[in-house]
Structure 1
């Protein structure tokens, strides 16, 4: 999918070509493992994540640019010495901030793969002065403090309560498209032959699948089309999902299920759900508790840059937190 022409123009307006070289860009959402380091919290920040070569400071940055509105750069992070960028899933990448882990949930897996290559091979695409810069910063670690501030990349002072994903545990019904955080998962199930009626009749199976995948949707009731509201069979036995345990002893929090992180196109007329359709209007039923994602504030982040270190840092990425089994093969999903 990639960025539209209009999206690219917005990026160009906030990232001047004369002082910053855009190496790559993709649509993504920003998650953090904070304040609970055992689970991912959605920051309500989404847009175009870009890898930038700062031609003035001669360093690399990750920046998240608002492409839905006109709020400019929503968040940024300087790539410090020994910056480790990990591909936990084809659609979910993680890295370490000053106080926690951060994750990018990409809208498109091919864009995510391309972005991962650009970040991990950034020296091939950076300017000579940036590559030779000996004054790059190191990650500054702070002692554990229950009152410690948020991550190093500023999040526009959004309250933590507003950053959390909606935790509705009762059944939700939708008329046209499922809620945005469920769309990519449902698209994945559809590609494996799981139809809408099968989702409605096998919710326990879907919940088990989500539990093994991990992410912020664990424990939630899968939404189902309203046309199946009366005919939903909640007692049907669900098939068992098998997966091979991961060889990694520990891992970061399991990534969120792949989600359609951003869409700015208008909603289509109510028809049968389309995998790539944009975000619909709020469902008319009073049963739905989904609310619109709040717009980030207009203030630009003030990035705190620690002083350079005279020697190589001794910092190492902390040990991962939980076992993360690989995504189950499509052969274990129920037949179409």
Structure 2
């Protein structure tokens, strides 16, 4: 399995995101906070609420520094009741505000699923368009740091499966800022999922790739536009979040053996950029889908199905690399065993070449 040292060697080759005019580099957490602060300065309708988002600054630094500038009326710690505060955010959004509600761990979605899926996601449709729900549901996803089965899932596919919500998963600081601006300004509910390992925390080392050049001026990244992080002709690797960096590590290893992998970062699941993925597969003929979510009924199967719908005759080989259908283990060796690493991705790409 991959070490964090291997992860830290991930390169952002082939992406325009790391070559912006700004010389300033930010961690993903700082880029997110910068976007939120800008939107809060521009509109009094934007506010933040969640557990430990004020004094603590978010346990993954997702709101660090906002309390000092905006005060407790706009950066609100809430009781430990996801049902209550996510429901309150839905009501505030329908009343004309633009709340950012942080669900501390995505694993906790179950206690507030009625508010998320039956209200946040559906109320615009159920009202015949009479109300909008312009809110961001922000949450931490992912494992690799031994926090066990109830704090280590990604669950991207769960939210993407349920209509009415846009689903965003950044992998770099540049993308994190641009996607956050887009999320806050959107008139529909957006689920914004950030991977803990990519935030740049001192106590949880990140790969080097997420820290990128980030312009100071606000900018938006449109939803539904995947990013080709690395170009190649021999295989298409489709992934998101932490595994973008592991896929780039794998691509560098494969290149030493003359296998050039194209690495696609989806960035958003809803809307989904089918065109970029299909165009790549038509070029390479081989598809590897990598996901930190569970294998069954999830992202890997959906990507393969979309490619089969559009370009089955161009597809010579398919591999899926994902977490097996087991709870994420607490023990470090077991967690490393189930979570795909760069070696697993490289092996899958090699199998498509046989």
TM, length-normalised to structure 2: 0.28
Which one has a larger percent helix, Structure 1 or Structure 2?
A: 2
TM, length-normalised to structure 1: 0.29
Larger Rg, first or second structure (1 or 2): 1
